[in-house]
Protein backbone atom coordinates (compact mmCIF):
# COMPACT_ATOMS: atom_id res chain seq x y z
CA UNK A 1 0.00 0.00 0.00
CA UNK A 2 1.44 3.30 -1.06
CA UNK A 3 0.83 6.52 0.85
CA UNK A 4 1.47 10.13 -0.16
CA UNK A 5 2.65 12.30 2.73
CA UNK A 6 2.58 16.09 2.31
CA UNK A 7 4.28 17.75 5.29
CA UNK A 8 6.81 20.59 5.36
CA UNK A 9 8.02 20.13 8.93
CA UNK A 10 11.17 17.97 8.56
CA UNK A 11 10.95 16.34 11.98
CA UNK A 12 7.24 15.51 11.83
CA UNK A 13 7.56 14.41 8.21
CA UNK A 14 10.50 12.11 8.93
CA UNK A 15 8.77 10.61 11.97
CA UNK A 16 5.53 9.98 10.08
CA UNK A 17 7.34 8.59 7.00
CA UNK A 18 9.47 6.28 9.18
CA UNK A 19 6.45 5.15 11.16
CA UNK A 20 4.42 4.35 8.05
CA UNK A 21 7.34 2.54 6.41
CA UNK A 22 7.92 0.59 9.60
CA UNK A 23 4.29 -0.54 9.37
CA UNK A 24 4.93 -1.85 5.86
CA UNK A 25 3.60 0.97 3.69
CA UNK A 26 5.51 2.51 0.78
CA UNK A 27 5.68 6.27 1.37
CA UNK A 28 6.29 9.18 -0.99
CA UNK A 29 6.97 12.34 1.02
CA UNK A 30 6.80 15.83 -0.46
CA UNK A 31 7.33 19.04 1.49
CA UNK A 32 5.37 21.75 -0.28
CA UNK A 33 1.92 22.25 -1.70
CA UNK A 34 2.91 22.42 -5.37
CA UNK A 35 4.86 19.16 -5.18
CA UNK A 36 1.83 17.64 -3.44
CA UNK A 37 -0.43 18.78 -6.24
CA UNK A 38 1.89 17.33 -8.90
CA UNK A 39 2.12 14.02 -7.03
CA UNK A 40 -1.67 13.82 -6.81
CA UNK A 41 -2.06 14.64 -10.50
CA UNK A 42 0.24 11.75 -11.49
CA UNK A 43 -1.22 8.32 -11.98
CA UNK A 44 0.30 6.76 -8.86
CA UNK A 45 -2.14 4.38 -7.12
CA UNK A 46 -2.01 5.92 -3.64
CA UNK A 47 -4.18 4.27 -1.02
CA UNK A 48 -4.11 7.25 1.35
CA UNK A 49 -3.10 10.92 1.52
CA UNK A 50 -1.69 12.20 4.82
CA UNK A 51 -1.91 15.95 4.50
CA UNK A 52 -0.63 18.88 6.53
CA UNK A 53 -2.65 22.09 6.21
CA UNK A 54 -0.03 24.81 6.58
CA UNK A 55 2.36 24.29 3.66
CA UNK A 56 4.68 26.45 1.58
CA UNK A 57 3.49 27.14 -1.96
CA UNK A 58 -0.17 26.36 -1.48
CA UNK A 59 -1.99 25.08 1.57
CA UNK A 60 -3.37 21.65 2.25
CA UNK A 61 -7.01 22.70 2.04
CA UNK A 62 -6.54 23.98 -1.51
CA UNK A 63 -4.91 20.65 -2.45
CA UNK A 64 -7.83 18.84 -0.92
CA UNK A 65 -10.39 20.94 -2.80
CA UNK A 66 -8.50 20.34 -6.04
CA UNK A 67 -8.46 16.58 -5.42
CA UNK A 68 -12.16 16.38 -4.58
CA UNK A 69 -13.02 18.86 -7.34
CA UNK A 70 -11.85 16.43 -9.97
CA UNK A 71 -13.66 13.54 -8.32
CA UNK A 72 -10.68 11.98 -6.53
CA UNK A 73 -11.96 9.62 -3.84
CA UNK A 74 -8.56 8.95 -2.22
CA UNK A 75 -8.97 8.79 1.59
CA UNK A 76 -7.46 11.86 3.25
CA UNK A 77 -6.12 12.14 6.78
CA UNK A 78 -5.40 15.75 7.79
CA UNK A 79 -2.78 16.85 10.27
CA UNK A 80 -3.81 20.09 11.94
CA UNK A 81 -2.50 22.46 14.58
CA UNK A 82 -3.85 22.13 18.10
CA UNK A 83 -5.78 25.37 18.29
CA UNK A 84 -7.18 25.54 14.77
CA UNK A 85 -10.80 24.38 15.11
CA UNK A 86 -11.61 26.29 11.93
CA UNK A 87 -8.97 24.25 10.04
CA UNK A 88 -10.51 20.99 11.18
CA UNK A 89 -14.04 22.08 10.30
CA UNK A 90 -12.86 23.51 6.99
CA UNK A 91 -10.85 20.37 6.25
CA UNK A 92 -13.70 17.96 6.94
CA UNK A 93 -16.07 20.13 4.91
CA UNK A 94 -13.55 20.22 2.05
CA UNK A 95 -13.62 16.43 1.89
CA UNK A 96 -11.11 15.13 4.43
CA UNK A 97 -12.08 11.80 5.99
CA UNK A 98 -10.40 12.24 9.34
CA UNK A 99 -7.90 14.44 11.13
CA UNK A 100 -5.19 14.29 13.75
CA UNK A 101 -4.25 17.20 15.98
CA UNK A 102 -0.52 17.85 16.37
CA UNK A 103 1.29 16.65 18.34
CA UNK A 104 -0.11 13.17 17.89
CA UNK A 105 0.97 9.68 18.77
CA UNK A 106 2.32 7.63 15.87
CA UNK A 107 0.24 4.64 16.97
CA UNK A 108 -2.89 6.74 16.63
CA UNK A 109 -1.89 7.85 13.15
CA UNK A 110 -1.35 4.21 12.12
CA UNK A 111 -4.69 3.15 13.60
CA UNK A 112 -6.55 5.97 11.83
CA UNK A 113 -4.77 5.11 8.58
CA UNK A 114 -5.86 1.48 8.89
CA UNK A 115 -9.44 2.54 9.63
CA UNK A 116 -9.54 4.78 6.53
CA UNK A 117 -8.04 2.05 4.33
CA UNK A 118 -10.61 -0.42 5.67
CA UNK A 119 -13.46 1.94 5.00
CA UNK A 120 -12.17 2.73 1.50
CA UNK A 121 -12.12 -1.00 0.76
CA UNK A 122 -15.68 -1.35 2.06
CA UNK A 123 -14.71 -3.56 4.96
CA UNK A 124 -15.66 -3.34 8.61
CA UNK A 125 -13.61 -6.34 9.69
CA UNK A 126 -10.01 -5.30 10.41
CA UNK A 127 -8.75 -8.78 9.42
CA UNK A 128 -8.59 -9.62 5.70
CA UNK A 129 -9.31 -13.17 4.70
CA UNK A 130 -9.59 -15.33 1.62
CA UNK A 131 -9.86 -19.09 1.62
CA UNK A 132 -7.47 -20.39 4.24
CA UNK A 133 -5.53 -17.13 4.38
CA UNK A 134 -5.98 -14.39 6.96
CA UNK A 135 -4.00 -11.18 7.39
CA UNK A 136 -4.15 -8.63 10.19
CA UNK A 137 -2.67 -5.29 9.05
CA UNK A 138 -2.64 -3.85 12.58
CA UNK A 139 -0.74 -6.71 14.18
CA UNK A 140 1.26 -7.26 10.99
CA UNK A 141 0.51 -10.96 11.12
CA UNK A 142 -0.76 -13.46 8.59
CA UNK A 143 -1.97 -17.03 8.90
CA UNK A 144 -2.59 -20.04 6.74
CA UNK A 145 -5.35 -21.81 8.66
CA UNK A 146 -4.12 -21.48 12.23
CA UNK A 147 -0.44 -21.50 11.37
CA UNK A 148 1.20 -18.09 11.65
CA UNK A 149 3.27 -17.25 8.57
CA UNK A 150 6.79 -15.85 8.69
CA UNK A 151 6.87 -13.25 5.92
CA UNK A 152 9.36 -10.56 4.96
CA UNK A 153 8.07 -6.97 4.89
CA UNK A 154 7.70 -7.09 1.09
CA UNK A 155 6.03 -10.49 1.11
CA UNK A 156 3.58 -9.19 3.68
CA UNK A 157 2.90 -6.05 1.63
CA UNK A 158 2.40 -8.13 -1.51
CA UNK A 159 -0.03 -10.50 0.19
CA UNK A 160 -1.80 -7.49 1.69
CA UNK A 161 -2.22 -5.91 -1.76
CA UNK A 162 -3.67 -9.13 -3.18
CA UNK A 163 -6.00 -9.67 -0.20
CA UNK A 164 -7.36 -6.13 -0.41
CA UNK A 165 -9.02 -7.09 -3.70
CA UNK A 166 -9.27 -10.89 -3.80
CA UNK A 167 -11.00 -11.06 -7.17
CA UNK A 168 -8.74 -8.59 -8.97
CA UNK A 169 -5.78 -9.41 -11.19
CA UNK A 170 -2.88 -7.05 -10.45
CA UNK A 171 -0.13 -6.60 -13.00
CA UNK A 172 3.52 -6.64 -12.03
CA UNK A 173 3.65 -2.87 -12.61
CA UNK A 174 0.61 -2.32 -10.40
CA UNK A 175 2.14 -4.40 -7.63
CA UNK A 176 5.44 -2.55 -7.97
CA UNK A 177 3.62 0.77 -7.74
CA UNK A 178 1.89 -0.36 -4.57
CA UNK A 179 4.99 -1.81 -2.94
CA UNK A 180 7.70 0.73 -3.70
CA UNK A 181 8.04 4.47 -3.21
CA UNK A 182 9.94 6.92 -5.42
CA UNK A 183 13.30 6.53 -3.77
CA UNK A 184 13.37 2.78 -3.67
CA UNK A 185 15.10 0.89 -6.43
CA UNK A 186 13.07 -2.02 -7.75
CA UNK A 187 14.92 -4.96 -9.25
CA UNK A 188 13.48 -5.97 -12.62
CA UNK A 189 12.15 -9.27 -11.26
CA UNK A 190 11.56 -8.20 -7.64
CA UNK A 191 7.83 -8.93 -7.72
CA UNK A 192 8.39 -12.38 -9.28
CA UNK A 193 10.92 -13.20 -6.58
CA UNK A 194 8.52 -12.23 -3.79
CA UNK A 195 5.70 -14.18 -5.46
CA UNK A 196 7.99 -17.20 -5.70
CA UNK A 197 8.82 -16.99 -1.99
CA UNK A 198 5.18 -16.49 -1.05
CA UNK A 199 4.16 -19.56 -3.04
CA UNK A 200 6.76 -21.63 -1.24
CA UNK A 201 5.22 -20.53 2.06
CA UNK A 202 1.55 -20.64 1.04
CA UNK A 203 1.48 -23.43 -1.51
CA UNK A 204 1.58 -23.14 -5.28
CA UNK A 205 -2.17 -22.65 -5.68
CA UNK A 206 -2.34 -19.64 -3.36
CA UNK A 207 -1.32 -17.10 -6.01
CA UNK A 208 -2.33 -17.60 -9.60
CA UNK A 209 -0.44 -16.19 -12.57
CA UNK A 210 -2.86 -14.95 -15.23
CA UNK A 211 -0.68 -15.13 -18.30
CA UNK A 212 0.06 -11.74 -19.82
CA UNK A 213 -2.05 -9.94 -17.20
CA UNK A 214 -0.70 -10.43 -13.73
CA UNK A 215 -1.37 -12.11 -10.41
CA UNK A 216 -4.44 -12.92 -8.37
CA UNK A 217 -5.25 -15.01 -5.33
CA UNK A 218 -6.08 -18.60 -6.16
CA UNK A 219 -9.75 -19.52 -5.95
CA UNK A 220 -8.79 -23.01 -4.92
CA UNK A 221 -7.72 -23.64 -1.38
CA UNK A 222 -3.94 -23.44 -1.17
CA UNK A 223 -2.05 -26.65 -0.42
CA UNK A 224 0.90 -26.38 1.89
CA UNK A 225 4.02 -27.69 0.26
CA1 LIG B 1 3.16 22.80 8.17
Burial of 132 (0-12, 13-18, 19+ CB in 10 A): middle
The pTM of this model reads 0.84
Q: Which residues contact 41 (CB under 8 A, 6 or more apart)?
A: none
Q: How far is 46 from 53, CA to CA, in rounded Å?
A: 19
How far away, in angstroms, is 216 Cα from ligand 1 center? 40
Q: How far is 121 from 74, CA to CA, in rounded Å?
A: 11
User: Which pLDDT score, from 0 to 100, does residue 221 have?
Assistant: 52
Q: Please report the DSSP string for 96-155 in residue order.
A: -SEEEESS--HHHHHHHHHHHHHHHTT---SSEEETTEEEETTTTEEEETTEEP---HHH
Bridge partners of 4, per DSSP, are: 28, 49
- Model confidence at 92, pLDDT cuts 50, 70, 90, reads very high
Residue 223 in this model has a pLDDT that exceeds 70: no
Residue 67 is classified by DSSP as H
Per-residue pLDDT reduced to its tens digit, 125-139 = 999 999 999 999 988
Per-residue pLDDT reduced to its tens digit, 97-112 = 999 999 999 999 999 9
What integer is the mean pLDDT of 44-62? Answer: 95
How far away, in angstroms, is 43 Cα from ligand 1 center? 25
- Model confidence at 122, pLDDT cuts 50, 70, 90, reads confident
How far away, in angstroms, is 8 Cα from ligand 1 center? 5
How far away, in angstroms, is 32 Cα from ligand 1 center? 9
Amino acid sequence: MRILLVEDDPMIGAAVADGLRGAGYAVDWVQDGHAGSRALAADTPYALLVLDIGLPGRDGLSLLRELRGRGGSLPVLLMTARDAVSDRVGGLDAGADDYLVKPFDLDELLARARALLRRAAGRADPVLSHGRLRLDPAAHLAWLDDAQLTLSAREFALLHALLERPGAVLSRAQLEERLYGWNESVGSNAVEVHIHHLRRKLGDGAIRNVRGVGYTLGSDQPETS
